[in-house]
A = this chain, B = another copy of it.
């Protein structure tokens, strides 16, 4: 299930939606908070891991979600519009909690407008691109990727500063993560937050966060 409201600039999709299926469903001029590629777990996996490759605060782009808490309780968090972000926030702790708070059912994402988009790649490492203003930056092996959308001239300027050449591939990285997409160095992908490796290892959970998880 992928429902898009172009006028209110959001989409609601089931957690098992593929990232590239969401791209294919978008109307012209609206973009989601992830780059055009496929990762393990589809949309639900992406949200559980706290996003991929973004250089902005991913949690702000998740307007709401429904999930099944460890108790079996179904939790409806947040809403469908930016105006619903009014406090008592159970959406943001869920985002990036690596499944500790439960299993995602549906996700509502903010869509942002852009008149143009571009994806460039070049040899390099993330450490070479700290000044880049691209909305998404990631490293695949020894190749650095930048994806950006926005005003035409802004996209041109970001890509010119990044260098490289246009990259039309929409890679499917699912098979590179046997046993899940976990955190750790030496894996196939890196972004500014983590190295991403096969095997599903997740960051250590603070005790207090475990208490929150048990309360839901």
Cα–Cα, bound, A208→B66 (Å): 13
User: What are the 5 tightest A-B residue pairs by CB atom distance, in nearest-first order?
Assistant: A87-B96, A92-B92, A215-B215, A57-B60, A211-B215
Residue of B at shortest CB range from A98? B87
- Residues of chain A having any CB pair with chain B under 8 Å: 49-50, 56-57, 59-60, 73, 75, 82-83, 85-90, 92-93, 95-98, 100, 192-194, 203, 205-206, 208-209, 211-212, 214-216
**A82 contacts which chain B residues (CB < 8 A)?**
57
Known: A212-B216, A215-B215. A93 touches B95 (CB 8 A): no
Contact B57 A209 (CB under 8 A): no
Q: Dominant SS at the A interface?
A: loop
Whole-angstrom distance between the Cβ of A92 and the nearest chain B Cβ: 3
Whole-angstrom distance between the Cβ of A170 and the nearest chain B Cβ: 26
**A73 contacts which chain B residues (CB < 8 A)?**
208
Whole-angstrom distance between the Cβ of A1 and the nearest chain B Cβ: 24
Residue of B at shortest CB range from A86? B193
With A86-B203, A212-B216 given, name 8 new contacts (CB 8 A).
Answer: A57-B60, A57-B82, A83-B192, A88-B97, A89-B95, A89-B96, A208-B216, A212-B215
CB within 8 A of A60: which of B60, B88, B97, B215?
B60
